[in-house]
Amino acid sequence: MGVESYFVHARFVGTQIVPADVIMLLRANDYTVDHSISDNFSSYTINAILKLQFNFENEVIQGFSLEGCFACYDESLELCYLVLRLVNEKLAPIEVDKPVFFESKKLLDKEEFLNNIRNFYLYKANYFFDLFHGINFRCLPGKDFYKEYQKRTSFLYKIRSIFKRDKNS
């Protein structure tokens, strides 16, 4: 996790789940889920803005992590909550155990969850927005963010965007 990202970790309570159960549930509820392998590490993306990684212990899935990017903070954070709620309600009970600021590990209502995450990552998010001048675009955290940021701050990209605006006027 770099300066551009935040994460939430959830674990299953009293139920054994396989990754395919989670993936099928998300796809059945109209989420776009893609699989990727980088550096011999398997992960999934949800709607091209959230990373999903499963956490295993002794080859049994214990839970999963969702990682989003501050470049699309509001959208990815809301998606994070919706995914957690969907899994909790339709598949298996979960506890949110990271970040560890929750008084209860049970999934909170939407507003409490969003406020707690925003408060927990307040300084990191502010640092990100100061560092990257309040940018806002859809992307995944990590290499994808830096690649997109570099593209968007290049001179050629800025020239193209000026011409696109003029055509649409």
10/107 Cα distance (integer angstroms): 9
pLDDT (average), residues 13-36: 93
Residue 81's identity, in one-letter code, is Y
Q: Are 135 and 71 in contact (CB under 8 A)?
A: yes
Q: pLDDT-based confidence at 156, cuts 50/70/90?
A: low
Question: For 134, which DSSP code?
Answer: T
CATH of domain 5-142: 3.30.310
Q: With 90 as the cut, is the pLDDT of residue 82 above it? A: yes
Q: pLDDT-based confidence at 58, cuts 50/70/90?
A: confident
Residue 56's identity, in one-letter code, is F
Please give the model's pTM, rounded to 2 decimal places.
0.86
Q: With 90 as the cut, is the pLDDT of residue 152 above it? A: no
The mean pLDDT of the chain is 87
Helix axes 110-120, 73-90, angle to 10 degrees: 130
